[in-house]
Amino acid sequence: MSEPANKAWRMLSAADRARLRDRGQRLPPLVFGITLAIPLVGFLILLATGNLLLALPFLLVGVLGSFAPFVAAIGAALLFHRKFLASRGVDLSAIVPKTDAPREDSGHPDDPGMAAILAEIEMERVVLARGFERGERWVKRIAVVAAPSLFAFALWSVGAQMVVPAIIICAGLYGIAYFAATSRYQTRFTTLFKQRALPQLLARHGLAAIGSDTPIPLDRPVFFGLIAPETRTRRDDAFRCDHRGAVVTIAEFVPAHDERKKDGNWRPRKLRIPTNGLLLQIAYPGRVLATTLIGRQLPRPEALAPVRLEDPEFEEIFEVWGSDQIGSRTLLTPAVMRRLLQMADSTDLLPPSVLVEGGTMTVLFEKTTARDMFEPGKVTDPELMHHLRKIADDLDAVMGLADDLLDMVERTPGVRLGPMLCTPTSLESRE
């Protein structure tokens, strides 16, 4: 997608992106309804009058009408898709100011101290990339010979009805062979990267990777519908650190395979739980007065009552539930509401969904793209430094979001906090 389109998407506020997405989700059911209703009108007229001549124009209109929504839907989809595609390549690093001078702070990719590690990874990458390309070549050569033979054999042995299944089988076999021949190189490169380079980048923020066997306490967010159960989600990279007196956990969540298939626009609104997102969990030394859930299109939570707030824009984007009307309002002051609306601006994320309970705040930023964060890129891509800088910037931005959340909690008078060191970091300072 072109740079101007990227800029146009970046210019949108997170609230506008949320509105655009909501409209996009409402469109398919509408198109489906119209597509079903228009021919039905013609059919009902035919049934009621029994006069085909009278019904024929309506049926024709119905038939034409059934095409019209498709055309409109394709047009609208192209329009929305253009907007969403524009987000590809726009990353969290948009928050971080770009400077021409290389950043040489310890652990940054531009730090001279990292050079030895990066050189070692690059040497290994070159070897692995050769293996990857060799495997790719072999699969292609075999496919060129085997596919026509298999296709011809299927036609000769069974007949013309095997054309479509033969194509599907050939494509499937090619995919399996390609994966078998190349995936191990990509996996080894990813593992090497995450063992050698990523810890250096994480160490800049005092972060440490959490193993997949170490659980993140998500019982309550799952109970309140903030995040889907583990059966429907897959935890990708996860990190943890002590930051300003609070324990910050960062995890990237992606939908599990079954969930990805179901996560279409046809799902009822109240059953849609965002699982494709960045989760920030902050355990701070303090407490809020009431359990408060702030979300977008979440299922109605149990044991919480709706809280109607006074900010019309906030009410348009978020739904709020709380265990106590006054306690939830103590947290959601007008300043906090504004902050939540603006927090994800200049990123490719949607406005956050938040669960605040006791001394824990769990925040889920839904992603608008399928982009995997904190990943090194393809093994054959020679731009290793580019990926490293991107991950470093992503980490800076995520920690910036954590700082924003801590600032927000710290400055809310109704939230009692223990010792928390103030740092001058704020959203304004990064703009």
Partner 1 sequence: MTVFVIVLAVAAVGALYGWYVAIVAARNRVGEALGGIDAQLQQRHDLIPNVLAIARRFLQHEASLLEEITALRAKAQPQIGQRDFQAIADKFETEAALAADMTRLFALAENYPQLTSSGPMIEAQRTYREVEASIAAARRFYNNAVNSLKTRVETFPGPVVSGLAGVAVLPPFYQAADEARSPVMAADHL
* Binding region for partner 1 (CB under 8 A): 289, 308-310, 325-330, 333, 412-414, 416
Closer of 310 and 381 to partner 1 (Cβ): 310
Least Cβ distance, residue 403 to partner 1 (angstroms): 22
Least Cβ distance, residue 331 to partner 1 (angstroms): 8
Question: What are the residues facing 293 on neighbouring strands?
Answer: 321, 355
Give the SS3 label for residue 51.
coil
Least Cβ distance, residue 286 to partner 1 (angstroms): 11
Closer of 226 and 331 to partner 1 (Cβ): 331
Least Cβ distance, residue 414 to partner 1 (angstroms): 4
Least Cβ distance, residue 86 to partner 1 (angstroms): 39
Give the SS3 label for residue 332.
coil
Please report which residue ranges of 158-215 form alpha helices under DSSP H.
163-196, 198-203
Closer of 137 and 416 to partner 1 (Cβ): 416
Residue type, 208: A
Cα-to-chain-centroid distance, residue 16: 17
Closer of 346 and 412 to partner 1 (Cβ): 412
Least Cβ distance, residue 332 to partner 1 (angstroms): 8
Closer of 196 and 339 to partner 1 (Cβ): 339
* Distance in angstroms (rounded) separating the CA atoms of residues 199 and 22: 38
Backbone phi and psi for residue 322, each to the nearest 5 degrees, phi listed first: -145, 160
Residues 6 or more apart whose CB falls under 8 angstroms from that of 51 comprise none
Closer of 192 and 309 to partner 1 (Cβ): 309
Least Cβ distance, residue 427 to partner 1 (angstroms): 22
- DSSP notation for 245-261: TEEEEEEEEEE-HHHHH
Residue type, 268: P
- DSSP notation for 67-88: HHHHHHHHHHHHHHHHHHHHTT
Least Cβ distance, residue 319 to partner 1 (angstroms): 16
Which element (helix H / strand E) includes 242? strand 233-243
Least Cβ distance, residue 326 to partner 1 (angstroms): 5
Closer of 121 and 340 to partner 1 (Cβ): 340
* Distance in angstroms (rounded) separating the CA atoms of residues 264 and 25: 9
Angle (nearest 5°) at CA 270 between 265 and 275: 65
* Distance in angstroms (rounded) separating the CA atoms of residues 162 and 174: 18
Least Cβ distance, residue 329 to partner 1 (angstroms): 4
* Distance in angstroms (rounded) separating the CA atoms of residues 174 and 344: 41
Neighbouring CB atoms inside 10 A of 236's CB total 15
Closer of 268 and 413 to partner 1 (Cβ): 413
- DSSP notation for 283-317: E-SEE-SS-EEEESSPPPPTT-EE---S-HHHHHH
Closer of 248 and 294 to partner 1 (Cβ): 294
* Distance in angstroms (rounded) separating the CA atoms of residues 288 and 336: 14
Closer of 185 and 284 to partner 1 (Cβ): 284
Token pair of 248 as six digits: 């910050």
